[in-house]
Amino acid sequence: MIELDNVAYSYSGDALLTDISLQLAPGTFHFLTGPSGAGKTTFLKLCYGALKPTGGSVHIFGDDVTEMDRDAVAYMRRRVGVVHQDCQFLDHLSVAENVALPLSVSGQATPDQAENLNELMGWVGLQGKFDSLPPELSGGERQRAALARALILSPDVILADEPTGNVDWEMSQRLLRLLIELNRMGKTVMIATHDLGLIRAAKAHVQARVLRITNRTLQTAGADL
């Protein structure tokens, strides 16, 4: 689905990531960890084509990201749902409008989507927050709304950047359960997180590969994690 071959990335000449090769196969579950500033967000951006590699190649659903035209990028983005670290809501729109935004942006808004939106809002436990504004949500509610927005176009892959940042343990477990459920539905999931407790908790329920960015490259973390 997503394939990185010998990828390097630098923002301004200094290498941040080097020698990264990885295949994200359908239905797999990955964690991505590493110290703050190691390049986890950068890595995720490379996986959904928001950044182009400065070395090596990235293929998403078989297409080389450096050769995709605008239509190919738009199609690819519909199949990859991203939960951003800072949620990135439009504060003047309601929670439901924010969650539904990718539908209108992608030109896929249809009357029967309202039913899907209802179902999705219920699934993440936000059925009572349809008309709330984002600043009125708690941290956990924001994270669940961000997850719902990433899912509204039924992507095949979900890339989640610190989806449990700023929430308590119980809420992080609830979010984790949602992501595990999505994986059981066949979706490929990658979660970037600092939270080693979350990774340990997940391993009891899902076969997850744990990757760590160390010394600018990607390594498989030991079983002791």
Q: How many CA atoms lie within 13 A of 25 on its CB side?
A: 3
The nearer residue to ligand ATP, 95 or 191, going by C-beta atoms, is 191
- Give the range of 30-38, 76-84, 100-108, 117-125 binding ligand ATP by CB under 6 A: 30-38
Cα–Cα distance, 127 to 140 (Å, whole number): 14
Asked if 215 touches ligand ATP (CB under 6 A), the answer is no
Smaller CB separation from ligand ATP, 51 or 73: 51
Question: DSSP state, 65?
Answer: G
Under DSSP, the state recorded for 11 is S
Examine residue 86 and tell whether it contacts ligand ATP (CB under 6 A). Answer: no
Evaluate whether 65 touches 85 at the Cβ level (below 8 Å): no
Q: Which residue has the tokens 């071959």?
A: 5
Run of H or E including 100: helix 95-105
Tell me which of 28, 33, 42, 183 binds ligand ATP, using CB under 6 A. Answer: 42
Q: Which of 5, 10, 15, 16 binds ligand ATP (CB under 6 A)?
A: 16
Q: How far is the CB of 155 from ligand ATP (least distance, A)?
A: 21
Nearer to ligand ATP, 34 or 102 (CB): 34
Query: 23 forms bridges with which residues in the sheet?
Result: 3
